[in-house]
Structures are given as C-alpha cells and as structure tokens.
Amino acid sequence: MIQRIQSVYLLIAGLISAGLSNILPTGHDSIGNFGTPFLYEGMLLSGLLSFLIIFIFKNRKLQFVLGRVNILLNLILLGVFVYLSLTLPGEALVSEKGIGQFIPIITIVLLVLANKAIKKDEQLVKSVDRLR
C-alpha cells in the first residue's frame, strides 16, 4: 500500500539505507575487516527490513514492532560509526571520515515518522471499531 504516508517514509528509509550505504563513503574502508563487513551488512539489513515492513500493511502491530527493531539496528550502527570515528588514528591515510556515517541518523528519523503514522492508523481503526 504505497499511498499511505508511512509507506513513503519506509520506502525512502530503505532506499537511503540500502542504496546510499554503497555509494557514500563511510571513512572506515581502510581500517581493516573489523567494522566494515558488519556496517555494510547492517545497512543492507536495515534497508531490507524497511522494504519488508511496507508489505505487511495488514498487520499494523507487527509493522510497529519491526519498525522499532529497525530503529534499534540503526542505533547500533550509529554507535559503531561513532566508536570507529573516535578510535581513528591521526595519520593521513586512515583518518578520513565519510559522510555515509550520517545515514543511520536520517534513517532513524524516517523510521520514527513511519512508526508515528502507523500508530495513528491503528488508533483510527480502533476508533472506527468502537463505533460499530
């Protein structure tokens, strides 16, 4: 159901999380294999979870819970980004920080807006059920 506003928010969050994470530099490519695979897999998982949430529109409670799980995943990714940025050495070759570190922040904002719209829809359905 793409005509609902939460579907638009989730679609944008999925495109940003899964698409832009491969395009924008995160600045952690030259550190080694410690953080990089987890970061890319986590961003891809976040994007796929956003797309999955769109297609389970009949179960709003599950949508809301999976939205919160996705927010939690993005908070963990943001924490890893912050940790890796603070532990970068001051050398010129590896001290480069990328703009891709802000992707989880944008995704979290979009997911919060989507969860707010899902909750509003759930309250609307409950109010209609009371009238019957």
CB 49 within 8 A of CB 66: yes
Mean pLDDT of 97-124: 88
CB 45 within 8 A of CB 69: no
pTM above 0.85, yes or no: no
Please provide the distance, in angstroms rounded to a whole number, between the alpha carbons at the two ends of the chain: 25
Answer with the residue of higher pLDDT: 57 or 116: 116
Residue in this structure with the two tokens 């050495």, named with its chain if needed: 89
Alpha-carbon distance of 70 to 53, in angstroms, equals 10
CB 114 within 8 A of CB 6: yes
- Write out pLDDT tens, residues 21-76: 777 656 555 444 444 667 788 888 999 999 999 999 888 899 999 999 999 999 99
Range with the poorest average pLDDT among 48-52, 85-89, 114-118, 124-128: 85-89
Range with the poorest average pLDDT among 64-68, 86-90, 104-108: 86-90
Percent of the chain with pLDDT over 90: 41
Position 28 scores a pLDDT of 55
Check residue 71 and give left, alpha or beta (phi > 0: left; psi -120 to 50: alpha). alpha
Helices (H), the chain: 5-14, 21-23, 36-55, 60-86, 103-131
